[in-house]
Amino acid sequence: MSLRINDIAPDFTAETTQGTIHFHEWIGDGWAVLFSHPKDFTPVCTTELGSVAGLYPEFQKRHCKVIGLSVDPVSSHGKWAVDIEETQGHRVDYPMIGDPELKIAKLYDMLPADAGASSEGRTAANNATVRTVFIIGPDKRIKLQLSYPMSTGRNFPEILRVLDSMQLTAKHKVATPANWQQGEDVIILPSVSDEEAREKYADGWKTVKPYLRIVPQPQ
């Protein structure tokens, strides 16, 4: 069965560019982003890994680890990282998983429908991990999952935006409206009664509808 939001993220042991990891142990008590790319030494993937490298300090500020994956071997990742830094201007300081036997790709359902049974003879169009993103919470449950086509690079600032939203919800019992950005007004969760909200928001809130109560973003 496919993984769904709120499922426990499958645990695994893997070889990475920073040594062997045990996934749940590696996550620890924080958040994590696991993202796959189709193939090393390809153009869109190079820009993506470089983008994440540039944003890596922002993920760290949010107590969120980042790890990449493809079905290339770790040795390939290491060589490719030189190209990424040269062309994108950012060094890849986060680990990259090598998954040539497709074990993790299958565990997380990262392969396209027409993928084969092994990585031999593969191209970026078949038998390669699609552009999948998982955000995993401190409870090791999947909080977000996205899949992009091979030809479309991802918007990683959007992944940061969603992470900000989820961390805000976990701390303050609020939701974020469409197109919300850090610092903008938020929505009090429907599960929070007016009585409970008054205790937290002494200055009140704007009631658009009984189910739509807007307050400034709490700090």
At 107, the amino acid letter reads L
Residue 97 near residue 65, CB atoms below 8 Å: no
Q: Is 45 a catalytic residue?
A: yes
Distance between CA atoms of residues 209 and 141, nearest Å: 32
Given 32, 34, 44, 45, the catalytic residue = 45
Q: Which of 142, 145, 141 is nearest to 154 (CA)?
A: 145
Q: What is the DSSP string of 147-183?
A: EE-TT----HHHHHHHHHHHHHHHHHSEE--TT--TT
Burial category of 20 from C-beta neighbours within 10 Å (exposed 0-12, middle 13-18, buried 19 and up): exposed
Q: Which of 104, 103, 88, 120 is nearest to 35 (CA)?
A: 104
Distance between CA atoms of residues 66 and 71, nearest Å: 17
Known catalytic residues are 45
